[in-house]
Amino acid sequence: MDAINWSQVVTLGIPGVLVVAGWFFAHWLTARRELFSKRRVDRLRALEAAYMRISSSSNRPLTIETIERIETFVAEIQLYGTPYQVKLMNEAVESFLKPDFKVNWDQLLEDLRDTIRAELRLEKVTGPVWWLRLPQPPTMPLSRVSFAEKLRQRKGA
């Protein structure tokens, strides 16, 4: 049996171990980066969908469809929004319960717009959100009382 040549073991073994460790480390970093990127893309898509949903529902007659879009928007903001956006959303939802039934989504939409544009590394837009509402064919809007009652029932449940 030959004696172990330790200089060969050190010369070949240590670089081999370092290469294998480097592969594992690089794989770990890549997997982490991909997970972060996927989370970012998913959150961005959800916030974009929420923005489009509420902007298309706001300042329109309340129909079953618009109510469903608003309810989905509220859930999406609770899930994907920042704490500040959730706070603004809560304030807007509380406005539905007031007698005048006026809800201002502008501040929340501005913050969503700024968040989305920052994530996309787009230039910041200044100024308020503005609305274009063209005349639509007649619809069957829900009465404000029935919608407010629906909200009160859910809040109490």
Q: How confident is the model at residue 1 (pLDDT cuts 50, 70, 90)?
A: very low
**In terms of pLDDT, which residue wins out, 77 or 137?**
77
- Taking the alpha carbons at both ends of the chain, their separation in whole angstroms is 82
What total number of domains does the chain contain? 1
Look at residue 1 and tell me if it is in a domain: no
Look at residue 5 and tell me if it is in a domain: no
Predicted model pTM:
0.67
Q: How far apart are CA 68 and CA 70, in angstroms?
A: 5
Look at residue 124 and tell me if it is in a domain: yes
Look at residue 80 and tell me if it is in a domain: yes
Look at residue 2 and tell me if it is in a domain: no
Residue 140: name the closest of 60, 74, 55 by CA: 60
Look at residue 23 and tell me if it is in a domain: no
Domain of 116 in residue numbering reads as: 43-156
Is residue 141 pLDDT above 60, yes or no?
A: no
**pLDDT, tens digit (0-9, with 9 covering 90-100), for 68-99:** 998 999 999 999 999 999 999 999 888 888 87
Look at residue 59 and tell me if it is in a domain: yes
